[in-house]
Amino acid sequence: MSESERCVAARFTLSAEPSPGLLPRLLQPFARRDLVPDRVLALREGAAMRVEIALDAMPAGMVHLVAGNLSQVVGVTELHSAGEGDGAQALRAA
C-alpha cells in the first residue's frame, strides 16, 4: 500500500473571523474529495471562531492537500493540522 493510499486519523483545528458562509467554505475541501468528516465542532469565542474538523480515516496523501485548501479559505487566520504519525503542522493563513 502506497503512502497516499494509507489511511490515517486526521484533525484540523483553525481560528477564523466569524461570517455566515464560513462553515460551508470549510467543508468544501472535504466534499470535493468525497470525504465526510466524523466530527465538526464550531465555537464562537468573542470576535473569532474556533473550528475543529476530524476524520477517523483519511488517505494520508490528502492531509496536506486539505490543509492547504483550508488555509486559503477567506477569513481563516490560523490552522493546525495533525495526521496520525505525521505530527502536528501549523500553517498561517494568507
Domain assignment of residue 2, yes or no:
no
- What pLDDT does 5 receive? 78
Helix, strand, or coil (residue 33): coil
What domain range includes position 26? 7-92
Q: What is the pLDDT of residue 62?
A: 94
Decide if 1 is inside a domain.
no
Tens-digit pLDDT profile for residues 27-40: 999 999 999 999 99
- CATH number of the structural domain spanning residue 45: 3.30.70.260
Count of structural domains within the chain: 1
Q: Is 55 exposed, middle or buried (0-12, 13-18, 19+ CB in 10 A)?
A: buried
Query: What does pLDDT average to over the chain?
Result: 89
Provide the pLDDT confidence category of residue 1 given band limits of 50, 70 and 90. low
Supply the pTM of this predicted model. 0.85
